[in-house]
Amino acid sequence: MLIRYGYDITVGCAQPTAMVCLLTIHDERAADIKVAETFTTTPPIVTTTYHDLYGNLCRRFVAPAGDLTILGDGVVEDDGALDSVDLGAEEMPAADLPDECLVYLLGSRYCETDKLSQIAWDLFQHAPRGWGRVQAICDFVNQHIAFGYHNARSTRTAFETYQERIGVCRDYAHLAIAFCRCMNIPARYINGYLGDIGVPIVDPMDFSAWIEVYLGGRWRTFDPRNNIRRIGRIVVARGRDAADVPLINSFGPHILKSFRVWAYEVADATAQPVTDPATVSSHGCAG
C-alpha cells in the first residue's frame, strides 16, 4: 500500500528566531520512499540538516520576523500489516542488554523512574515476564488516563500523569515508558505519523506518540494510547522522551498560526494532500 504523508505549519515570530525541526521521515524508511519528501518554506529561506545523537534527521534554520510556513509532503510504501505481536518475546537481564539499550533504562526529563519505581513494582511485579508484562503496563496506562486535547500540557511528566489521570498521547507514552524502565525493560519514545487506516476516524489528524520496547533481542512497537494493533506507522524520530524529539524546537518566542498534518492511503503517488478543514488540528499531540 502507498501512504501520502506530510504537514503544513505556519508560525509567527516577532524577530528572526533560530529553530530546529524534527519532521522528516526516519532514514530507516529510505528504501520505501516512492515520492521523495519535499520541504518548502514561504517565504523561501535557507535550511540545513544534520543527524542528532539518536539518528534522527534534524532541519535547522532561522525563521524571519513575521509568518513562516513550512510544508513537507511525500509518499511511502508500507506493507499494510498490523503491528507485529510476539507473545513469547522475553525480557533480557539488565546485565546482558546491549550497550545502546542502557540509556533507555534511565530516568529522563518526562519519565521520573525514581518517583514511579515502587508504584511500578507494586502494580506489575506479578505480571507475566516479557511481552505479557509490557502489555499489562499498556493496558493499565490506557485505562488509567482520560484522553482529551483540552488536557494537553507541555510540561506534564509521567508522575504527574499518573497522579492527574488525564493527558494526550505523549502522556500515555511517557507513563508507559517510565513503568517499563522501572521494571528494567528498555523503552523509548516515538514521534511519527499514524493515519486512520483500518479504523474509524475519531480525531483530527495529528502527529502521534507511541513507544518501542526492547524484548526478545529487538525493539517492539506498543501503543498505550490506542492499545490496539494499527496499520501504517511512519516513524519520524526516536528519543528518551518528548524532550529529545520536539516537532519544532524554537530558540525564542513564536506563535503557532496553523497546523495541519496528513497521512492517508492512496492508490497512486500523484494523489494530492488533503484540504478538508476537518483535518486541521492545533493540538500538538506528540510534540
Q: What HEC string does the chain produce?
A: CEEEEEEEEEEEECCCEEEEECCCCCHHHHHHEEEEEEEEEECCCCEEEEECCCCCEEEEEEECCEEEEEEEEEEEECCCCECCCCCCCCCCCHHHCCHHHHHHHCCECCECHHHHHHHHHHHHCCCCCCHHHHHHHHHHHHHHCEECHHHCCCCCCHHHHHHHCEECHHHHHHHHHHHHHHCCCCEEEEEEEECCCCCCCCCCCCEEEEEEEEECCEEEEECCCCCCCCECEEEEEEECCHHHCCCEEECCCCEEEEEEEEEEEECCCCCCCCCCHHHECCCCCCC
**pLDDT at residue 250 in the model:** 96
pLDDT tens, per residue, the chain with 287 residues: 999 999 999 999 999 999 999 999 999 999 999 999 999 999 999 999 999 999 999 999 999 999 999 999 999 999 999 999 999 999 999 999 999 999 999 999 999 999 999 999 999 999 999 999 999 999 999 999 999 888 889 999 999 999 999 999 999 999 999 999 999 999 999 999 999 998 887 666 789 999 999 999 999 999 999 999 999 999 999 999 999 999 999 999 999 999 999 999 999 877 665 544 344 333 334 43
Domains of the chain: 2-80+245-279 (2.60.40.2250), 94-240 (3.10.620.30)
pLDDT for the residue numbered 279: 43
CB 227 within 8 A of CB 138: yes
pLDDT of residue 286: 41
Per-residue model confidence (pLDDT) at position 110: 98
Q: Whole-model pTM?
A: 0.92
pLDDT at 11: 97
